[in-house]
Amino acid sequence: MTELFQATGGFSSANFIGSSSFGSVYRGITNQDETIVAVKVLNLQNPRAFKSFTAECEALRHIRHRNLIKILTSCSSLDSKGKDFNALVYEFIPNGSLDDWLYLPTEENNHSRSLGLLQRLNIAIDVASTLDYLHYHCYATIVHCDLKPSNILLDNDMIAHVSDFGLAKLLLEPDNNSSQAQTSTIGINGSVGYVAPEYNMGGKATIQGDVFSYGILLLEMFTGKRPTDQMFIDDFNRHNFAKASLPIHMMQILDPTLLPNEENSEESEEDATNRIEGPSHQTDKLQD
């Protein structure tokens, strides 16, 4: 723990990167070779944090892929007050998350800090390649269970790296007395808007759940709208929004930053929504 404390400047706010319910992440520099690392310190006040720590260690211990975040080491110790301390040390990915790039503040959203169509396609392919590896080419099938833009990090070459395996499940091979694979743990609490609907009803982790989240991710990348956007209410969701716009009004639901300036300025987002008949009419139309 002492080394991590020194590497992060005492887990100072200057080195703070981000946080979740499971813990906080800090930028650090190791003394040995001055390697820049990301240190995830678990919030052990959350009763699920240690389970997350165990799941992430297990999931990342034996897997290697160019589009996966690399875990360098882990730490289980006591802090200066004698309390339990758990942390994971990862390679540092310098360009932040996909979420950062999709939702930059207006004053920062210039040509040097925006994602073009080709870049988004390449990121989508990187993530798909990762899921294919985890689901079909790993030592055991691994289901991520929490795929979303904030868990996709971009390096200096804008190559995507899937991170945060705190909810990951290992699907064990079925035994002779079972017709279905079993998960190594139970209970799934993914992020609202991204988690497969069957998980909310007690369903077990499946690769199909990751594929659902990937579909939500694709829609978000190319429409620029989160699944929790205020326009998506009741039965009107982003899937219906996209489906109702095809094939005639497809260009009107694209993220405005992907459109040429002259086309982008022709009509507002509200006009575009109205032209595909609005939320109440779209769901009626889909049910006819």
Strand residues in 52-149 grouped as ranges (E): 71-78, 84-91, 141-143
For residue 216, which of 147, 132, 138 has the smallest C-alpha distance?
147
For residue 117, which of 268, 243, 218 has the smallest C-alpha distance?
218
Q: Which is catalytic among the residues 126, 146, 210, 255?
A: 146
DSSP 187: -
Per-residue tokens: 110: 């210039």
Type of residue numbered 174: P
The span from the CA of 237 to the CA of 148, in Å, is 17
The span from the CA of 134 to the CA of 152, in Å, is 15
146 assigned to active site: yes
Q: Which residues are catalytic?
A: 146
